[in-house]
Amino acid sequence: MKQNGSTEAVMEEKSRKDFESVARDWIKNMEETWASEHESRVRRSLENWVFPWIGAKVANEIHAADLLSVARRIEEAGRLETAHRVVSVCGQVFRYAIACGKAYRDPSQDLRGALKPYRSKPRAAITSKARLAEVLCAIDGYAGNFQTRLALRLLPLVFVRPKELRLMEWAEVDLDAGLWSIPGPKMKMRLPHVVPLARQAIRILQEIKPLSGSSEEVGFVFPGVRDKGQPLSNMTLNAALQRLGFDTQDEITSHGFRTVASTFLHELGFPPDAIELQLAHRIGGVRGVYMRSQYLDQRKAMMQAWADFLDSIKSSNRAAV
């Protein structure tokens, strides 16, 4: 009986060191610093591609060949980018296991050069002033759903991530101050973000407020087409661009307006730090905290100048027609 108890204890200790247990513990440890969408994507990739084959193995007994077998299975499914991403995630799990004393080395390091090469494709974005003007004029003439049209018109003016725009709530918006304050949990980097609103952006928000706003200042600014208690669907903005005739694979996506803004703002001579801060890219340490405060006035001026620039190229485009 005593021997059985000892065996069970060994098995229990072994199970706590299996790769799946370690990986789930790592996810739990990291989830407070991740956006929920990222956490879900990482967890699903492990559940779909890794756990069924090596999840039950003790982390310290997994070798490079085991991990390569996992990667080859993903490659055979035609998912080269996923194969590289999954191996990278596994490497992070192994490094966490090493720190916790549940593994001695990271076998993913031995797969360098073993995977089929994958060249990431940059998000579609327009870098021609004339073509950008055509896109903006087409958006102004969008004949589809009202809130979709206004969301599309606002997106180039604020160049946030599409998800952040879709989840925009009236409680975050101060039209009098011309500021949109996004809470940290909604941001990719989990840090609060302030978006100065140009006069053109404020007019768009005033236009949609009778539809989605209220005296209590609650609710989504851009509610769903069928359910006002939900935000616009994550496919809505790209679908609208496709409906306007744009190729969202190779030309422009809703996310691509971030690249558009970054490209032109640099060309227009605005301070790189102000641009990076407005894109909500992470600038760490005390410098980052200081800069977020220091550059707010500059960012307000930059966002108004950006909105005026977009108006000017649209006017030029219409005059040339």
Spot the catalytic one: 102, 153, 258, 299.
258
Instruction: Tell me whether residue 287 is one of the annotated catalytic residues.
Output: no
The answer to whether 318 and 137 are in contact (CB under 8 A) is: yes
**Annotation says 28 is catalytic:** no
Which residue from 213, 204, 220, 208 is spatially nearest to 164, judged by alpha carbons?
A: 220
- Quick check: is 255 catalytic? yes
**To 10 degrees, what angle do helices 285-294 and 296-320 make?**
60
- Active-site pick, 17, 102, 149, 161: 161
CA distance 39 to 31: 6
CB 15 within 8 A of CB 8: no
Task: Answer yes or no: 38 catalytic.
Answer: no
N- to C-terminal Cα separation, the chain? 90
CB 253 within 8 Å of CB 155: no
Asked if 17 is an active-site residue, the reply is no
List phi, psi (to 5°) of 217. Answer: 55, 50
The count of other CB atoms within 10 Å of the CB of residue 59 is 24
Q: Which of the residues 193, 255, 299, 314 is marked catalytic?
A: 255
User: Active-site residue among 41, 266, 290, 318?
Assistant: 290
Which candidate in 95, 188, 203, 292 is catalytic? 188
The size of the chain, in residues, is: 321
Q: How far is CA 40 from the centre of its chain?
A: 13
Rounded to whole angstroms, the Cα distance separating 262 from 221 reads 25
The answer to whether 161 is a known catalytic residue is yes
135/112 Cα distance (integer angstroms): 42
Of the residues 73, 131, 281, 300, which is catalytic?
281
Catalytic residue list: 161, 188, 255, 258, 281, 290
